[in-house]
């Protein structure tokens, strides 16, 4: 499917700016002998054209899909019926019709070239199947559920559209054998079939990482012997944050290597202290890009941005990606499609040629280093305070339950897998809040447990405070969260009451 964005920005429907919660898709046929989508687009993109506006046209000559409204924009495509209007719930798409037909009365027509007409109808039908499968994925719609995918004619029968017979009238009179039932089943089959032969060798962004944290560390130290320790310490975050959202963290790390010049930041628009390792927000030359309070938040934003491109599934964590809303969800399922020039929709993360292939080259080199885990290798579960703090390790176990039991018996310890991903943290529900006495006036309050988190700009002052949670973190032996919700303080400067 070739999808081209050609929004009707001058049409009064677009300028009205009303949005809908998409509950279904409605298929139309233009009702006149015109196979060129451009004719409708040029005519309808006018302030004076105030009687109709759809979300897309399918060209009859080559099957190209032209998106003419944002998908969640309320269109003017089906009128209304006794039970309201499908404009409030459904995306509307028009299929262009053959030039060799001539309407005689109502939905009836004659055809001067049946073979050509059938070829046009087949082309638009197949493109519509691909488009509707794409939209069903994007909006988590079941194509065979009642009322989800309907024609204009079916919309009228349901009382939510004006009295039209499209597109079934075209299929029936041309003897195509198509019905809306065959169409819905074809959409379902397209969704169930997954990737086509054209993308069978492509690399999906969603999935489980292949490279290990050790391989990533070996790779980056080889490319940048001066890589800061803080970068090495955060490598497991790519895997844990990726695992949380179902994104391959090794792909995200390879992308960071590309965007930061292997964390040298040479020629990069961002700097290490911004905790922005993917050039997020650098939309033109001279822009500094977004900044994040911690490396974890920066990596989380990158993972979420990749998920926005690769999937239509909801985020598991709260959204920290400031540009998530600008992505066309599910428009780049594969790494190869992250580059706009290679993306079939012209979407993507970067405008430069071969962007996805550059990431894959780095990923291949990462996976080729030592430190991988073979299928027959022993799997060890390590019990530490943090993955970076190897000296704190108090045990390594082949059996996960034994590792969990060890962590349960030692407060402050967690279980990590071979990739450094925290896979078990003991339940802290039994934690009992307690009082501490602060005897200095300038004890900083931070947004998280560690000096790598930003200061809130406030101090505790001298006094007694309630601690409701403890955590390990950089810059102190232990951190405590204030009951007031103001933030976290170093417990090294406190005395338990």
**pLDDT score for 371:** 55
**For position 112, what pLDDT does the model report?**
94
Q: What is the pLDDT of residue 195?
A: 42
Task: Band the pLDDT of 20: cuts 50, 70, 90.
Answer: very high
Task: Tell me the pLDDT tens digit for each residue of 412-425.
Answer: 888 887 667 677 77
How does the average pLDDT of the chain come out, rounded? Answer: 88
Mean pLDDT of 160-175: 94
pLDDT score of 375: 39
For the chain, what percent of residues have pLDDT higher than 70?
A: 93
Q: Could you read off the pLDDT of 48-63 as tens digits, one per residue?
A: 998 899 999 999 999 9
Check residue 108 and give its pLDDT: 92
In this predicted structure, the answer to whether residue 80 has a pLDDT above a threshold of 90 is: yes
Q: How confident is the model at residue 367 (pLDDT cuts 50, 70, 90)?
A: confident
pLDDT at 429 over 50: no
The region of weakest confidence among 12-21, 110-119, 464-473 is 464-473
Pick 213-367's CATH classification: 1.10.530.10, 3.30.210.10, 3.30.70.1450, 1.10.10.60.
Answer: 1.10.530.10
Q: Where are the domains of the chain?
A: 3-194, 213-367, 381-424, 434-496
Region 3-194: CATH code? 3.40.80.10
Instruction: Check pLDDT > 50 for residue 104.
Output: yes
Mean pLDDT of 194-204: 61
Res. 399: pLDDT tops 90 = no
- Reported as a single tens digit per residue, the pLDDT across 301-340 is 999 999 999 988 889 888 999 999 999 888 898 999 999 8
Can you give the pLDDT at residue 284? 64
- pLDDT over threshold 50, residue 270: yes
- 3-state SS string for the chain: CCEEECCCCCCHHHHHCCECCCCEEEEEECCCCCCCHHHHHHHHCCCCCCCCECCEEECCCCCCEEECCCCCECCECCCCECCECHHHCEEEEEECCCCCEEEEECCEEEECCHHHHHHHHHHHHHHHHHHHHHHHHHCCCCCCCCCCEEEHHHHHHCCCCCCCCCCHHHHHHCCCCCCHHHHHHHHHHHHHCCCCHHHCCCCECECCCCCCHHHHHHHHHHHCCCCCHHHHHHHHHHHHHHHHHCECHHHHHHHHHHHHCCCCCCCCCCCHHHCCCCCCCCCCCCCCCCCCCCHHHHHHHHHHHHHHHHCCCCCCCCCCCCCHHHCCCCCCCEHHHCECCCCCCCCCCECCCCHHHHHHHHHHHHHCCCCCCCCCCCCCEEEECCCCCHHHCCEEECCHHHHHHHHHHCCCCEEECCCCCEEECCCCCCCCCEEEEECCCCCEEECCCCCCCCEEEEECCCEEEEEEEEEEECCEEEEEEECCCCCEEEHHHEEEC
Q: What is the pLDDT of residue 224?
A: 94
Q: Which fold has domain 434-496?
A: SH3 type barrels. (2.30.30)
pLDDT value of position 352? 84
């Amino acid at each position: 499917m070739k999808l081209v964005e050609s929004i009707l920005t001058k049409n009064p429907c677009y300028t009205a700016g009303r949005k809908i919660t998409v509950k279904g898709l409605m298929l139309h046929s233009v009702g006149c002998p015109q196979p060129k989508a451009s004719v409708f687009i040029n005519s309808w993109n006018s302030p004076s054209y105030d009687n109709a506006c759809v979300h897309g046209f399918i060209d009859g000559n080559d099957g190209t899909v032209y998106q003419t409204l944002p998908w969640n924009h309320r269109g003017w495509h089906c009128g209304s019926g006794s039970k309201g209007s499908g404009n409030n719930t459904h995306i509307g798409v028009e299929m262009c019709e053959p030039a060799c037909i001539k309407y005689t009365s109502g939905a009836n027509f004659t055809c001067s070239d049946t073979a050509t007409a059938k070829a046009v109808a087949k082309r638009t039908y197949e493109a519509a199947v691909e488009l509707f499968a794409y939209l069903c994925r994007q909006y988590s719609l079941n194509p065979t559920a009642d009322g989800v995918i309907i024609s204009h004619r079916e919309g009228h029968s349901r009382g939510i559209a004006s009295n039209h017979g499209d597109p079934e009238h075209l299929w029936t009179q041309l003897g195509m054998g198509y019905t809306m039932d065959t169409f819905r089943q074809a959409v379902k089959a397209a969704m169930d079939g997954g990737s086509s032969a054209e993308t069978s060798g492509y690399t999906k962004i969603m999935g489980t990482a292949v490279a290990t944290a050790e391989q990533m560390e070996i790779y980056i130290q080889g490319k940048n012997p001066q890589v800061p320790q803080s970068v090495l310490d955060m490598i497991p975050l790519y895997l844990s944050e990726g695992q949380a959202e179902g994104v391959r963290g090794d792909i995200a790390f390879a992308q960071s290597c590309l965007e930061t010049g292997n964390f040298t930041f040479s020629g990069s628009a961002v700097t290490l202290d911004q905790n922005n390792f993917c050039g997020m927000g650098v939309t033109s030359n001279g822009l500094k890009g977004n900044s994040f309070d911690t490396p974890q938040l920066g990596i989380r934003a990158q993972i979420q941005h990749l998920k926005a491109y690769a999937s239509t599934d909801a985020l598991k964590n709260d959204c920290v990606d400031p540009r998530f809303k600008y992505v066309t969800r599910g428009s780049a399922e594969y790494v190869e499609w992250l580059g706009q020039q290679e993306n079939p929709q012209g979407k993507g993360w970067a405008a430069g040629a071969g962007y996805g292939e550059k990431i894959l080259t780095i990923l291949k080199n990462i996976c080729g280093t030592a430190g991988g885990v073979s299928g027959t290798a022993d799997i060890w579960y390590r019990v530490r305070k943090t993955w970076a703090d190897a000296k704190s390790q108090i045990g390594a176990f082949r059996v996960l339950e034994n590792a969990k039991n060890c962590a349960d018996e030692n407060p402050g310890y967690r279980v990590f897998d071979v990739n450094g991903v925290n896979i078990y943290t003991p339940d802290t529900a039994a934690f009992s809040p307690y009082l501490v006495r602060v005897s200095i006036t300038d004890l900083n309050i931070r947004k998280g447990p560690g000096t790598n988190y930003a200061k809130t700009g406030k101090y505790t002052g001298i006094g007694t405070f309630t601690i409701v949670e403890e955590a390990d973190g950089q810059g102190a032996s232990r951190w405590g969260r204030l009951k007031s919700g103001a933030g976290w303080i170093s417990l090294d400067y406190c005395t338990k009451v």
